Amino acid sequence: MQTVIRYENVVKEMLIQLPALIIFDEEQHLGMIEDNLDLAYVIFGSLLVPFLESAIARGDKETLRQGCNFLEQISADSRQDLALENLIGVEIGEWLEFVCGESVIASLLGEETKRVCNYVPGLATQRRMLKGLPC
């Protein structure tokens, strides 16, 4: 049985389900976990997003799959937790609006994640092209 994830335990559960985040934090000398464990927005924006971006850049679909599975679980659980839904919508939803490698991540996103993030297929790619941003 999976643990129901709430805003209060999302970081703890993320580190359990995605232990590679701990290694990433150490390898990148970010210090995010140690200094910001109770700040979910900081952890998502400054650790989880770069972790996923790194996996996209490396073509590491297994890490992306695990990350997207976690996002899908918390997105489903967010139906009962507005604070969790806001966290995902802000940190992941805003990232998805400009993500480099959108086609890779989009193929792994679940329906609940897309719902919470108001994901529009192709939007990030189009925005990057219009702004002349490389990918």
Collapsed DSSP state (helix, strand, coil) of residue 107:
coil
Average pLDDT over residues 7-18: 95
Domain limits, the chain: 7-131
Residues 6+ apart with CB under 8 A from 116: 75, 78, 85, 88, 89, 92, 93
Number of residues that this document lists for the chain: 135
* pLDDT tens for each residue of 125-135: 888 888 888 88
Q: What is the pTM of this model?
A: 0.92
